[in-house]
Chain A
Amino acid sequence: MSHAIKKMFCAVALLVIAGCDGGQSAFSGLGPVSSRITLLIWIMFIGAALITALICVLTLISIAGPANWRHKLTGKKSIVLGGIVFPIVTLTALLIYGFLVLKAGGTLVQAENPVHISVVGEQWWWRVIYRHDDGHTTESANELRIPAGRPIEIELSTADVIHSFWIPAYAGKVDMIPGRINTLHFMADKPGIVRGQCAEYCGGAHALMSFYTVAMMPSDYEAWLAKERANTKPALENQGEQLFLSSGCGGCHTVRGTQADGKIGPDLTHVGSRLSLGAGILPNTTESFAKWISQHQTVKPENLMPPFDIFSESELQSLSVYLNSLE
């Protein structure tokens, strides 16, 4: 029962995201870092609109204005005022304001007790590693869960080419560069679901490299993290799990609690609990699993998973049901 309700909640959440621009928009400003930038955006938009209007009016006057108005624009003085003094004054003010925004963002860097999460960019998905206070880690993929109201510190790195990690609703983007580890600091004001996407062109399926970020009440988050950390229960009598293990899926994927311990692809221990499949491109349903397994090269061209069109209709069904049940 609660299962069905949760599924429904997710579906509604997805609809809400689709309906409004809160999902992947820099205007939504759902955290202190991004809301400061949203304000900056509006200030600069209004300023730019006024300056554009001014230039248009001056041009119109210079072409068709009354002679005495035109005359005022003809001297070197107007060039010095309009072309030198005005930009220097406005730009200096803007620059100082920009530094203040930068500095305000910096306060999160020193925040105590942040939530530590590592995200590794891979062609074309996200490896997400939660770092527990006891030094252990829990690996997940293609979805980020965070507690609202707590500072988040994300360590960003890459396994292959340059990617860029971007959740517009919470913060600007930071690149993931080979040989380097960058950090991103932000905070979510309140619980909610938003979308992120790779922003640096990373080859082939760059367009299909997204993820959902779920901000939760801190207590819900702790509960969720404990569940995420736990292994799944082996269900060897399950035909889906048998198929999973016997078809070689475990060579690349891990399902903690089973023999599947591959590290190449996304960790699937709790894949059934995620909002999406294929790095934010399919809704998480049994049908989607079937679709992914049988036609993933059509769904997400060039992705690095080998083709698995070996299953019969019923095998595909039981495999999909099994994966969907990994919550």
Chain B
Amino acid sequence: MTKTTEEKATLPNTLPRPEGEEEELLRIWAAPTGWRWFTAVNNTTVGLLYLGAAFAFFVLAGLLALVMRTQLAVPENDLVSQDLYNQLFTMHGTTMMFLFAVPAMEALGVLLLPQMLAARDLPFPRLSAFAVWAYIIGGAVFFSTIFYDLAPKGGWFMYPPLTLTEYSPGDNADFWLLGIGFIEISAIAGAIEIIVGILRNRPPGMSLDKLPIFGWAMLVFAGMIVVAFPAVILATMYLEIERSFGWPFFTAAGGGDPLLWQHLFWFFGHPEVYIIFLPAAGLVSMIVPTMARTPLVGYKLIVVALIATGFFSFGLWVHHMFTTGIPSLSLAFFSATSMAVAVPSGIQVFSWIATIASAKGRFQLNTPSFFVLGMLFIFTVGGLTGVMVAMVPFDWQAHDTYFIVAHLHYVLVGGMVFPLFATFYYWAPMVSTRMLSERLGKWSFWLIFIGFNVAFFHMHITGLIGMPRRVWTYSEASGWGPYNFVSTVGAYIIGAGVLVFIIDVMRNFRVGEGCVSNPWQAGTLEWLPTDVYSTRSIPHVTSREPLWEQPNLAEQVEAGEHYLPNAPTGGRETIVTSAIEAKPQYVIQMLGPSWTHFIAAVFTAACFLLLTIKVVIPALVCAVLAIVSFLVWAWELDKGPDKGPVDIGAGFKLPVYVTGPVGHGWWAMVILMLVAGSLYFAYLFSYLYIWTVSPGVWPSDAKSLPSLQWPALSALLFIAGAAFFAVAKRTLPEPGKKHLLTPLLVLLGALSSVLAVYLEIWCHWQTGLSPAKSSYGALVYMAGVLNGQLVFAVLIMSLFVIARHFTGKLDRVRFASLENTNLLAYYTVAQALTGLLIIHGFPRMI
């Protein structure tokens, strides 16, 4: 009894809560209805939309697979034409990887993370909503190309030279390049949101060592996206530029190399597998402890394993290129690293087994755990065949055969689809008023599990008896007929299983705030009672499984006894805590529903799609409209300090506006700089790589290079630009005052950066260097393109800052817009100077 009173005494807020507090929260966080539903930003609405769209693409890509399997069921079939089949497998792979797997995981991040962290929302709700709409519109148009013979047909890996204009005329390949490039941008937007959300929006007390494993997995996932995706974005830029303007990045005759694409693509493409698998493993690590009623055994080992997987995954991309004739030393190195990555997966498998074995009572066997156990079997097989293909001599036989098709489906379906179905059944009660059916769930599981193994198990053999991938037909004499027929039967059984699941969802899934609270007796915060505002108050967390360790937590949170039970600024807000210890730092004021991000998404998508079909002027109009919507949206972001400080409970009086390294905006900007840095790193890699392949196209003497005064002048202008920005920040006026020097310096900063980029391009043009003549020229001008796009962003942001100044929204206290512009400007200078050093220094050195 005394203990309870003591606990009560230490809770952040006291009862009774003031009248009308909850009503205000309900009003502030209400999701818009009717037409305005499109403007919604609530994480459950956006997350479900995201997940629903990803699942729709899964079903669509699955249907394409069924068409392919039907074509392959018997030898010499002509149900589907060769050309259509080539489009089908390209779209199946591309859709599954880019429109299903990565978005599905980002969707789960948006949907689950705020609940697991008991945050009211992630820090950039409109950014998530923008990413979703951009993805849905872009993805839908991209997918629809299959219906009018415009779908890409170069395979999901799009190897040049097959995908160059010479061998792939028509817009098909461009749809892949622009469509995918665009969807990757939306994935990066999501990743930034997830990283900042996990590191800065945890509830007070949830230090990093108490972060649910899914949070760790998503952190590694998002970090990997930041490093990996820029490589493929750069590769798609190269390929699109070569297709449109003939810059020979990949053409051997111009000093390019088709293998450059493979390096860049697989530097992204292999981590991509783990980008898909890690969050799913994180989900399994959440479900297993719940079903065992016991904390995860080896939490720290699993965290290390997740990070190690992320790290190793960047060191083994070459194992996709074992047959390209690369030197045997590389073969040995990449063979070893490919095997090393098996260890972290082993740790996770044995942790799950250990957790299941330590179950209190018996491990609960229900639909989610069935899917988890199915995953355990399938993923183990996929991992073991992965070890096989890491063996170089074996890979020489297995590469590009149905063995690989079987292997990758075991890894991806086992590693991602099974956990996803487990997730559907496990977390449905969090967002639905009814649980999904156990009976239908088990039917669905058995159909998918049996169907999967019937389709894919013997497919390992189909490959080793000679059947290559990506063939639309095969001869009777090959003897592959019976193998393929069985696989087709299996594929239809999987289809039936998915159908049962869809029926289950239609019958039982009803969006609404939970009716069954915590049906699995889980220990983590997403099972707290919630409403549109998420939890009534934000809990103080003292353990890894708060619902198990902190008795009455749900009641206390629901009563409003924990942090921030109200809306002191009168708007959407949540607590920002320190990155490691999770100590409350400030209250972030977030944006609510709006048309801006939706319109921005529509016009961004329209711009990319119009560019694909080469309707340039309307595309530019759309680009301008998109930028305008971004600016209108950004205008509201910097809300200022007026409404703070506010009391969140337990004596914390927190500011509602911060700048500098404490602020979430600063963090997002730094992550964006990491993205740009990865892109530039990939560029530097290409420059040096192409040089090793074709040193002959590099200038042989310094005379053909621009003389050194030009790069020196460029460098000076870049540095001056940064200096202008730095000084501009020091000249910021007191609140309510204006100081004309600030906008002037900002303008000068932007203009001198623009001039510097122009000068750098001009001085090469003067020497007669053409980007279309050699890979050297292409790479030199590419540096200008990469700097140019950054400087363009700096220029737009500078104009924005200047407008803020003249409307009195920029001063010594409220200067987030200038701060972010400065960060980008500094990064631009660093990148540009590195570029100048390489481009003018390297040819003089060799």
Contact = CB atoms under 8 A, between A and B. Distances in A.
Given A55-B377, A83-B346, A179-B258, A201 B162 contact: yes
Interface residues of A, number: 88
Contacts of B328: 102, 106
Interface residues of B, number: 84
Interface stretch (A2-10, A136-144, A202-210, A250-258): A202-210
Contact of B477 (A18, A44, A175, A301): A18
A173 B365 contact: no
Contacts of B363: 62-63
Interface string B321-343: 00111001001100110011011
Interface string B99-135: 0000000000000000000000000000000000000
Interface stretch (A35-43, A240-248, A288-296, A317-325): A35-43
A79 B81 CA distance: 51
B36 interface: no
B348 A83 contact: yes
Given A79-B350, A207-B82, A175 B325 contact: yes
Interface string B287-314: 0000000000110010001000000000
Interface string B350-366: 11011011100011010
B472 interface: yes
Nearest to B460: A45
Contacts of A203: 86, 153-154, 162, 167-168
Contacts of B362: 63-64
Interface in A27-84: 27, 34, 36-37, 40-41, 44, 47-48, 51-52, 55-56, 58-59, 61-65, 70-76, 78-84
Nearest to B346: A83
Contacts of A52: 377, 380-381, 384
B324 A177 contact: yes
Nearest to A67: B357
Contacts of A80: 301
A62 B357 contact: yes
Interface string B369-411: 0000100110011001101100111111111110000000000
A161 interface: yes
Indicate the member of A52, A178, A208 with the most B CB atoms within 10 Å: A178
Contact of B393 (A74, A81, A101, A201): A101
A301 B384 CA distance: 39
Contacts of B179: none
A105 B347 contact: no
Contacts of B377: 52, 55-56, 59
B349 interface: yes
A234 interface: no
A270 B469 CA distance: 32
Contacts, number: 260
A105 B350 contact: no
A94 B335 CA distance: 11
A26 B392 contact: no
A281 B401 CA distance: 19
A265 to B, nearest CB: 18
Contacts of A238: none
Nearest to A106: B328
Contacts of A23: 466, 477-479
Given A40-B393, A174-B325, A161 B162 contact: yes
Contacts of B391: 40, 44, 94-95, 98, 101
A24 B162 contact: no
A161 B357 contact: no
B166 to A, nearest CB: 8
A171 interface: yes
B259 A177 contact: yes
Contact of B471 (A21, A83, A87, A206): A206
Contact of B161 (A75, A162, A164, A302): A162
A82 to B, nearest CB: 4
A63 B347 contact: no
Interface in B11-38: none
A78 B354 contact: yes
Given A82-B350, A84-B347, A204-B83, A70 B257 contact: no
Top-9 shortest CB links A-B: A172-B396, A179-B252, A24-B466, A207-B471, A182-B325, A62-B357, A83-B347, A73-B357, A83-B350
21 contacts: A21-B465, A25-B464, A25-B465, A34-B397, A41-B397, A44-B394, A48-B384, A64-B362, A76-B354, A88-B343, A98-B391, A160-B161, A174-B325, A175-B323, A178-B251, A179-B252, A199-B323, A199-B468, A207-B470, A302-B82, A302-B83
Given A52-B377, A55-B377, A62-B353, 15 more contacts: A23-B477, A26-B398, A37-B397, A41-B464, A44-B391, A55-B376, A61-B357, A74-B358, A75-B354, A171-B396, A172-B323, A179-B693, A205-B82, A207-B470, A302-B82
